[in-house]
Structure 1
C-alpha cells in the first residue's frame, strides 16, 4: 500500500508505524538541484557534506527544538523529493535544515524529513476546498492587534492536531528527503503565504530508525514534529511582492501566534538571508533542529508550547 493510500485510512493506522513511501522517478530527483543562486549553493554544500556555517555548525551543542501540533493538513511523505515547488508562484525559498541529536550533539544521518506548507495565498495542497486563502486586492498596511471575529468557513480552529482526510489529489509544496552524513537536508520551495489565525510558517517532521529502500522510506518512528517561523521584517517585505500582495486575508503576526513559543531558534525561528532591497530574488532559510531520536512525537498529542497556557486554544494549521 502506498503512503497516499494509507493517508486515506483510519487515523489509528497513521499513528502505529511509519508507512512505506514511493519515490519519484530519476528525472524528478535530478530536477531537485535546479534553482536560483541560493538553491544552487545550498545543494552543492549538501552534496559535498560541508557548508554548515549558515546553520550554526560552530555551536558546541544544541537545545531540543520545540514540539508542536501536526495540524490537520499532513499527508505522510507522499512525495520523495527536494524540489517541492511544482508550478506554484512565489518568492524562491531554499530551506536548509540540520538535524542533530540534542544530547550528543552528533548529526543524524539518514533521517527522513518531511516539510509542508501553504502557498502564497494560504492554500494547502490536498485540502484546497478546506484551506482559507485570500485574494483580489492589495493588503492595507501591517496588521495591528489580534484577529477579531470568527474565522471564515473552512478555517482551521481549535488547539488540537486533529487530522483531516485529503479532499483532492494536489501535492504541491510537500516533500520528504534524507539527511546527509552531516545531518543536512535541503528543500527548494517558495516563501509561504498566510491564512487567518496563523503567522507564516512551515510544518516539519523528522523520522528515524527506518530504512531507505529502492521504493523510498519505511519503518521507524517520528521523533520530532514542529514548525518553522519567519521574522516579521521578511514577511512584510514579501507581502509587497506578487502574488502575496493580492492576499487580503487578515494576517496574524509572529508575536500574536499561539503556536510559536517566542523562544527564537529553539522555537523554530529560521535564520533568513536575502537582499533587503529585493526579497523577490530569493531567500535562504537555515536552522539546526535538535531532537531526541529515542522519543516519539507524532504531533497528535496536542503539544503545548513552553510559555503557552495549557488552556489556550490555537488554530491547528
Structure 2
C-alpha cells in the first residue's frame, strides 16, 4: 500500500492529549477454551459487548511507545487473512481490534498489516539475510553455524541514535511472501489472521510486526493512500514460547533464544506494551493457539516506524 503524504491534514489537532509518538494497547477480553484435545470454543471471539465494557474512556488504557518497523517490511499488498501458505508450525489465530485512542470507538475499514518469521526464524523476502537457525537445509546464502546471544557492536551504518534501527530498511532478496498479509477491519474494528506461531532468531524474542493504515481507499488492487497511524510489535509470554520449543520444527532450531525479559524492543509493560492474550491447551500447544489484543491508535498521527523514535535497544539487524 502506498502512503499518500500529500493528502495528510496539517490542521491543528483538537482535544487530543496524546502525543504523536504514543499509542495504547490493551488485551482483548478472555478467550474460552473448551473440549478435550485442546479444541477451542467456536465462539471464543464473539462476545464483543463484554469486551467493550471497559472501553469507555482513555483512563481504561495506558500508553506505550511505537516500535521500529524493522528491516524486513514489504508493502506487498497481499490482501488475505490466511498468510500461512505452506509453512509448518503451530496453528495461530490472531485477532486484532483497532480503536480510536481518544474515543475508544472501533475504527472501521482500517488496513492492518502483519508479518513475522517462520518457525526457524526466517523472513520471507529476506531468506538470505535472516538469522534463523535449525534443522533442514538453509536457504542459499544463509549464515552458517549456530548464532547465539544478542548482537554486539555498533548499529549498522545509517541507524539512528538510540539503536532502534528504525531508519534502516533492507530491499527484498527473493520473491517469497509467506507469513505476510493485510486485511480490512470490520464495523467492530476487528480483523482476524490465520498464521503459525512464530519462531525466534538471534537477538530477539518471539514477536509479530504490525502496521495500521487509515484514511486511505480500498480498491480492486489493494489499499491506497491514507496514513500509517501505528507501527508496532506483538509479543508472546515465556510459558507459550517454551511450550512451542518442544514441538517440531521449532525444536530443531539451533539458535539461542532471547527471552521476553531480555528483549530490547519489548518495553516489559505487559499487555500495554503489546503482550498478546493467548489461549491454548497447556498439555498440547501443537493443537493451536488463539491470540488477541486491542490496539488504540491516533488516526490523525503518522507513525511509519522508520522515524528516530525513542525506543530502547536493538539494532536494525535484530528487529
TM-score interval (norm. to shorter): 0.7 to 0.9
1:84 to 1:166, Cα distance in 2 relative to 1, 3 A = same
1:212 aligned counterpart, secondary structure: strand
**Mapping of 1:41-80 within 5 angstroms?**
41=43, 50-52=46-48, 56-60=51-55, 61-80=60-79
Question: What residue in structure 2 maps to residue 223 of structure 1?
Answer: 229
Q: How far is 1:212 from its partner? A: 1.1
Quick one: distance in 2 between partners of 1:68 and 1:15? Answer: 22
- 1:260 maps to 2:266: yes
Alignment coverage as a number of residue pairs: 265
**Mapping of 1:177-216 within 5 angstroms?**
177-216=183-222
- 1:99 maps to 2:98: yes
1:313 to 1:203, Cα distance in 2 relative to 1, 3 A = closer
Quick one: distance in 1 between partners of 2:277 and 2:195? Answer: 16
Quick one: distance in 2 between partners of 1:122 and 1:53? Answer: 37
Q: In the alignment, is the contact (CA less than 8 A) between 1:228 and 1:268 conserved in 2?
A: yes
- 1:237 maps to 2:243: yes
Q: How far is 1:76 from its partner? A: 1.0
Unaligned runs of 5+ in 1: 7-13, 19-35, 138-145
- 1:171 maps to 2:177: yes
Question: What residue in structure 2 maps to residue 147 of structure 1?
Answer: 149
Correspondence for 1:160 among 154, 158, 165: 165
Structure 1 stretches (4+) deviating beyond 6 angstroms? none
Quick one: distance in 2 between partners of 1:313 and 1:116? Answer: 19
2:52 aligned counterpart, secondary structure: coil
1:87-145 CA deviation, whole Å, 9 max, x = no partner? 000000000000001111100010000000000000000000000111139xxxxxxxx
Q: In the alignment, is the contact (CA less than 8 A) between 1:64 and 1:102 conserved in 2?
A: no
Unaligned runs of 5+ in 2: 8-37, 137-147
Q: How far is 1:41 from its partner? A: 4.8
Question: What residue in structure 2 maps to residue 115 of structure 1?
Answer: 114
Q: In the alignment, is the contact (CA less than 8 A) between 2:116 and 2:179 conserved in 1?
A: yes
- 1:294 maps to 2:294: no
Quick one: distance in 1 between partners of 2:298 and 2:178? Answer: 29
Q: CA-atom RMSD, angstroms? A: 2.7
Q: How far is 1:264 from its partner? A: 1.0
1:297 aligned counterpart, secondary structure: coil
Q: In the alignment, is the contact (CA less than 8 A) between 2:150 and 2:202 conserved in 1?
A: no
1:133 to 1:112, Cα distance in 2 relative to 1, 3 A = same
Quick one: distance in 2 between partners of 1:286 and 1:53? Answer: 16
Question: What residue in structure 1 maps to residue 31 of structure 2?
Answer: none
- 1:285 maps to 2:291: yes
2:239 aligned counterpart, secondary structure: helix
Quick one: distance in 1 between partners of 2:200 and 2:5? Answer: 32
Q: In the alignment, is the contact (CA less than 8 A) between 2:131 and 2:201 conserved in 1?
A: yes
Scaled by the length of structure 2, what TM-score is found?
A: 0.76
Q: How far is 1:214 from its partner? A: 2.3
User: Comparing both structures, which one devotes a greater share of its residues to helix?
Assistant: 1
